[in-house]
Amino acid sequence: MSRNHLASQLLFDLSRPGRRGVHFPAADTPETPLENLLPRSALAESPPPLPELAEPDVVRHFTNLSTLNMSVDTHFYPLGSCTMKYNPKRNERLASLPGMLHVHPYQPDDTIQGLLRLLYDLQAMLAEISGLPGVSLQPAAGAHGELTALMVAAAYFRDRGDKRTVVLTPDSAHGTNPASAAMAGFDAVTVKSNGQGLVDMTDLEAKLNERVAVFMITNPNTLGLFDPQVGQIAGLVHGAGGLIYLDGANMNAILGKTRPGDFGADMMHFNPHKTFSGPHGGGGPGAGPICVGERLAPFLPTPIVAKDGERYRLDFDRPHSIGRVRSFFGNVGVLVRAYAYIRTFGPGGLREVAENAVLNANYLRSKVRHFLAVPHGARCMHEFVASAGKLKKETGVAAMDLAKRLLDFGFHAPTVYFPLTVPEAMMIEPTETESKETLDVFAETLFRITGESPELLHEAPHSTPISRPNEVQAAKQPRMKWTAS
């Protein structure tokens, strides 16, 4: 049976009445009817229609399903903005050490000195990499880091009696930026990009006033371009009494090269699951540690890890803090992986990570631009955005068609239709962990696909168990209940 066929069957389809994975021995105590234990009204009329299977059926079903996933371990995964780099397995082993894995969040500080030291040192490393001294490891994802930092900013302005209600985001920003601004209670206002894909300074100046709390910038931005105006932007925003937030999703491009704190940022988040090789993509746990400048540090979430002499402890005594944003201490397992990654590379190694990420992206860009336009910039940082706009006009083939067809050739699709400022956008980020050979085969494949017939491409992918699912239906009309057909 083919893998695709196996995967198209539900456990319910494989079910056979009476088949069992486990046989319990006969009870050696008298049986009590359920009716004697629970009121009738609490009892179902019939048992739930659960599938009945032997253990190997279940194991094979889930193992086969797992092989249908694309992952960094199985495929090249050039998903722009998301930095799907290879995750060293060593980090998994370290995060699974008993002293990391079996710690209880309510354990007294004195019994977890090693773990606290690790987290304390990670705070210091992130402060060093960002150039911003105040660190909270608590937020559970990048978007959560954005929200937390904006709450910190709100507390800072409240403390000063400064009423500011607006957060500015560029039109190329990730959707989480304006969403976080709205969730933190601000009005999100968009600033236009100019013809080069950078912040339009005239539009920024027009929208900057004493009501602006924060300007959120992604640098390098989502087009893979470093905005050289960032110092000037920070000067303007600070001059108007506002703060600069740096969306750190693209830190992979600048690790050890430049520091957000040095180019004017007052606060930022890291995505350890992107930059520091935490596994991600399946919706599993990430983390979104934030770093802030001195004047914002008192407002950071509680607790932070502190050190008194030789003793590490969780510091809850922080009167200006916005409080907790996550239960216990955040997603510590992800933070352990980030720590292991940073320690493995060291400062020189991290700089090389950034250099190779930028080199790989420029190499791939120089190949792709021969057959797909790359509208912005003469060179890129860690990623670039190609446009299938011309192809769409001439043949009707869209960026989505190319992306879907790549799956047939064993490549995960790049990010498509983001940023919104580029028509038929394909945002390609190879990362530093890919070889020249992989990049060559990918570029050749993408080139070949652009010459294929529109009919074939509109129907792609052809080799996957399902081809084109409705991409919003599962979210908008979830069917949570299985019914026998």
Instruction: Please give the residue ranges that form the binding site for ligand PLP (CB under 6 A).
Output: 81-82, 141-143, 174, 176, 218, 222, 247, 249, 271, 286, 288
CB of 421 to ligand PLP, least distance (A): 14
**By C-beta, is 176 or 431 nearer to ligand PLP?**
176
**By C-beta, is 222 or 450 nearer to ligand PLP?**
222
**Is 184 in contact with 151 (CB distance < 8 Å)?**
yes
CB of 278 to ligand PLP, least distance (A): 10
**By C-beta, is 11 or 179 nearer to ligand PLP?**
179
74's tokens: 């199985």
Q: Cα(277)–Cα(89) distance, rounded to whole angstroms?
A: 10
3-state helix, strand, coil in the chain (%, to 5): 40, 10, 45
User: Which phi and psi (to 5°) does residue 411 adopt?
Assistant: -115, 135
Q: Cα(141)–Cα(268) distance, rounded to whole angstroms?
A: 12
CB of 25 to ligand PLP, least distance (A): 48
In 3D space, the residue among 457, 448, 443, 445 whose CA is nearest the CA of residue 392 turns out to be: 457
Please count the other Cβ atoms lying within 10 Å of the Cβ belonging to residue 140. 18
DSSP secondary structure, 6-19, as one string? HHHS-HHHH--TT-
Enumerate residues 6+ apart whose C-beta is below 8 A from 438: 76, 430
Rg (CA), the chain: 26
CB of 110 to ligand PLP, least distance (A): 33
In 3D space, the residue among 168, 160, 172, 198 whose CA is nearest the CA of residue 186 turns out to be: 168
CB of 247 to ligand PLP, least distance (A): 5
Beta-ladder partners of 214: 167, 243
**By C-beta, is 220 or 256 nearer to ligand PLP?**
220
Q: How many CA atoms lie within 13 A of 162 on its CB side?
A: 19
**By C-beta, is 112 or 170 nearer to ligand PLP?**
170
CB of 144 to ligand PLP, least distance (A): 6
**By C-beta, is 120 or 377 nearer to ligand PLP?**
377
**By C-beta, is 79 or 304 nearer to ligand PLP?**
79
Angle at alpha carbon of residue 132, lines to 126 and 133, rounded to 5°: 80
Q: Which helix (H) or strand (E) holds 213?
A: strand 212-218
Helix, strand, or coil here: 355?
Answer: helix
**By C-beta, is 285 or 410 nearer to ligand PLP?**
285
CB of 276 to ligand PLP, least distance (A): 12
